[in-house]
Structure 1
Amino acid sequence: MILIFKYIFPSKFCGMAIYPFIFLKNKALKVDKKLINHEKIHLKQQVELLWIFFFVWYFFEYLIKFIRYKNHAQAYKNISFEKEAYSNESDFNYLKNRKYFAFLKYFK
């Protein structure tokens, strides 16, 4: 289910997945197939990790990457969940063929 809620986003972000919802900054983004696919990949990751563990892992991985890189954007882009989503957001068949816990191959 896609919801529009422009007030929860930092300026550079357009979407966010919190199972079972995809929140978008504005209505126009509903047609952005790449963004929607990116967020659907996050929904799949959340299901695999029983939702709460996804967010705990996400937070700690971000924290570790932030300490390593000392830069928010670089830390964010290097989170394994984000690396999987960005790497596959243009492949609209990815979720049909995705293996369980595929984000682990991006974890370093």
Structure 2
Amino acid sequence: MPKGYLGVTIFPFMFLKTEDLKRNAVLINHERIHLKQQLELFVLPFYILYTIEFLCRLIQYKKWDLAYRNISFEREAYGHEKDLDYLKSRPLYNVFKFIRN
């Protein structure tokens, strides 16, 4: 697990830093949002877009954490991770509403 991260989702798997994190409903919801994003974009394009956007944000912000937090995929996941019913009503391709300059 990369330093500073509690979970990573690589479709169809969710990797958590520790076993007890399986009970963290907010973290699990965050990672499930990423699973939905990956499915919508047929997995490989998700990773390509995620990487490109991260690199653009890194150039823009010049700080790893700030760049990571401003990726549209992360903005959607962090913005809705506490809403445990979000995925039940989430519109298709909703992540694109989070793209900004």
Q: How far is 1:89 from its partner?
A: 0.2
Q: Look up the match of 1:45.
A: 37
Larger RCO (alpha carbons 8 Å, 6+ apart): 2
Distance 2:21 2:3 in 1: 15
Q: Which runs of 5+ in 2 are unaligned?
A: none
TM-score of the two chains, using structure 2 as the length reference: 0.97
- Once the two structures are superposed, residues 10-33 of structure 1 have per-residue CA deviations (whole angstroms, 9 ceiling, x without a partner) of 221010111111111110101000
Question: Where do 1:57-76 residues align within 5 Å?
Answer: 57-76=49-68
Q: How far is 1:87 from its partner?
A: 0.3
Question: Where do 1:70-85 residues align within 5 Å?
Answer: 70-85=62-77
- Alignment size in residue pairs: 100
Question: Where do 1:1-108 residues align within 5 Å?
Answer: 9-108=1-100
Distance 2:23 2:69 in 1: 24
Give the letter for the 1:37 counterpart.
Answer: N
Q: Which runs of 4+ in 1 moved over 4 A?
A: none
Distance 1:73 1:11 in 2: 12
Q: Which runs of 5+ in 1 are unaligned?
A: 1-8
CA-atom RMSD in angstroms:
0.5
